[in-house]
Amino acid sequence: MSKSELFIGIDVSKSELEMAMRPEGKAMTFSNTEDGIALLIDFLKPLCPSLVVLEATGGLEISLANALAIKEIPIVVINARQVRDFAKAIGRLAKTDRIDAEVIAQFAEAVRPSVRPLKDEETQRLHALNSRRRQLVGMIRSEQNRLSSAPKWTQKEIQNHLQWLKKALGKIDKDIADLIKGSPIWREKEAILRSFKGIGPVTSATLLAALPELGTISSKPLSALIGVAPLNRDSGQFRGKRAVWGGRDNVRSALYMATMSAIRFNPAISSFYNRLKGAGKPHKVAITACMRKIIVTLNSMIKNKTYWNPLVAEKCI
């Protein structure tokens, strides 16, 4: 390792940015505010770090990540699970903000994850709208469950809240549709995605916002990104069952719902599912295989800018 290489790990919380440096071992704390982020960048810029790594923390990291990217500081936002697994592997089981920052910096130095372009502002906005939509749907479901067993004294209040939530959901749906319509690239991609019977507006918007790699990489890594690629579990002479895990759960959830619809209404996917079931595959295995088949098909459609052709598909699937 060159003496000039410097790796930065930053633990992001609501109020503070805990920064650790490798290999120097220095640590500093900045406030997670506009002024604090500016001070952090002023400190880092002259040092020319080789890599800055942040954990994805539900959106708290977005302002800092964008600010670092604008200043052309190499930045990677990684899944928090990767850092926790790394911490366990090196025996760092204690957890504080300072320790987390040190572990992230050590992860950056040892693993050196590849720098990927951050989402642009419009994609971040679409992603935020999709996240808010999921929250509203969850709140509506919870209130409907409460209403079924609520005493008469509170039913009216729950009904009023449900009405408000449904109105907010309608506005979010309109905002998402308007945002997609305002982008020629997204309009074309959405038209291609929705030509596939089973893909509706929610799934297409989720894919556009949370899976920008669609159509740009090959099928195997794309399936792994989502978490629908079977992974080997072998050791020595032991051959375990392959299983799927990890990946982007919001994309996987949307794809699952689209797959359930496609099994009912898309003859090609329905036929594929029935063949798997007829061969003795368990329901979950068959569903996962259909999810993988759909995302591989959509990936090819977006890459080649072709619409769904059921006649061709039924011969291939």
Environment class of residue 92 by beta-carbon count within 10 Å: exposed (0-12), middle (13-18) or buried (19+)? middle
Q: Report yes or no on 251 lying in a domain.
A: yes
* DSSP bridge partners of 11: 18
Q: Does 173 share its domain with 204? A: no
User: Of 164, 182, 200, which residue is a domain's last?
Assistant: 182
Closest CA to 42 of 30, 51, 50: 30
Q: Does 135 share its domain with 48? A: no
Q: Does 143 share its domain with 26? A: no
Do 52 and 75 meet the contact criterion of CB atoms below 8 Å apart? yes
Q: Does 154 share its domain with 74? A: no
Residue 119 is predicted with a pLDDT of: 75
Q: Report yes or no on 254 lying in a domain.
A: yes
- Rounded to two decimals, the pTM is 0.74
Residue 1 is predicted with a pLDDT of: 43
Structural domains of the chain, count: 3
Residue by residue, DSSP assigns 262-300 as HHHH-HHHHHHHHHHHHTT--HHHHHHHHHHHHHHHHHH
Q: Does 54 share its domain with 134? A: no
* DSSP bridge partners of 8: 21, 52
Q: Does 271 share its domain with 191? A: yes
Residues of the chain with pLDDT under 50: 1-2, 238
User: Of 111, 141, 164, which residue is a domain's last?
Assistant: 111
Do 247 and 224 meet the contact criterion of CB atoms below 8 Å apart? yes
**Angle at CA 68, nearest 5°, toward 67 and 71?**
90
Q: Report yes or no on 2 lying in a domain.
A: no
R_g of the chain, CA atoms, integer Å: 23
Q: Does 130 share its domain with 161? A: yes
What is d(CA 202, CA 134) in angstroms, rounded to the nearest whole number? 10
Q: Does 153 share its domain with 221? A: no
User: Of 57, 80, 111, which residue is a domain's last?
Assistant: 111
Residue 118 is predicted with a pLDDT of: 74
Q: Does 140 share its domain with 88? A: no
Residue 56 is predicted with a pLDDT of: 83
Q: Does 26 share its domain with 78? A: yes
Closest CA to 31 of 52, 10, 58, 51: 10
Residue 257 is predicted with a pLDDT of: 95
Q: Does 203 share its domain with 155? A: no
Residue 2 is predicted with a pLDDT of: 47
For 107, the domain range is 7-111
How far apart, in Å, do the first and last CA atoms of the chain sit? 49
Do 313 and 290 meet the contact criterion of CB atoms below 8 Å apart? no
